[in-house]
């Protein structure tokens, strides 16, 4: 049986659970039922907290439809702008053919 002399503080256990996972704390939790139980208690949400969290993470009704409509609208606008840009490009290319290098009209 291993004698445990060091027990992490509640704060250290919470930090470990949140992201900073020092290897020695992890090893300790694996061997110490007391601290493993404490960590479980510290990280459990009350039923009201679970309900609140579910409500916050549940998308609003109709959000998928609104997002899809927005994307389709943006794509349609992009397509329209693309057509206008192509038309402008044709006009620009035509003007370059009609004008010589100095920007003067070429009579032929």
Tens-digit pLDDT profile for residues 5-22: 678 788 877 777 776 666
What is the SS3 string spanning 36-96? Answer: HHHHHHHHCCCHHHHHHHHHHHCCCCCHHHHHHHHHHHHHHHHHHHHHHHHHHHHHHHHHH
Under a CB-based contact definition with an 8 Å cutoff, are residues 6 and 33 in contact?
A: no
**Residue 84: C-alpha distances to residues 30, 39, 75, 79 (Å):** 65, 62, 14, 9
Would you give the distance in Å from CA 12 to the centre of its chain?
28
Summarize pLDDT for 16-69 with one digit per residue, the tens. Answer: 777 666 677 777 778 888 888 888 887 786 667 767 777 777 888 898 999 999
């Amino acid at each position: 049986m291993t004698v445990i002399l060091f027990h992490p503080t509640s704060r250290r256990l919470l930090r470990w659970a949140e992201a900073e996972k020092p290897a020695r704390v992890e090893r300790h939790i694996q061997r110490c039922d007391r601290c493993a139980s404490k960590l479980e208690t510290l990280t459990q949400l009350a039923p009201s907290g679970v309900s609140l969290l579910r409500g916050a993470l549940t998308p609003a009704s109709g959000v998928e439809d609104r997002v899809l409509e927005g994307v389709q609208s943006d794509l349609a606008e992009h397509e329209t702008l693309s057509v206008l840009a192509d038309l402008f490009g044709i006009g620009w290319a035509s003007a370059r053919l009609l004008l010589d290098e100095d920007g003067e009209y070429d009579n032929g």
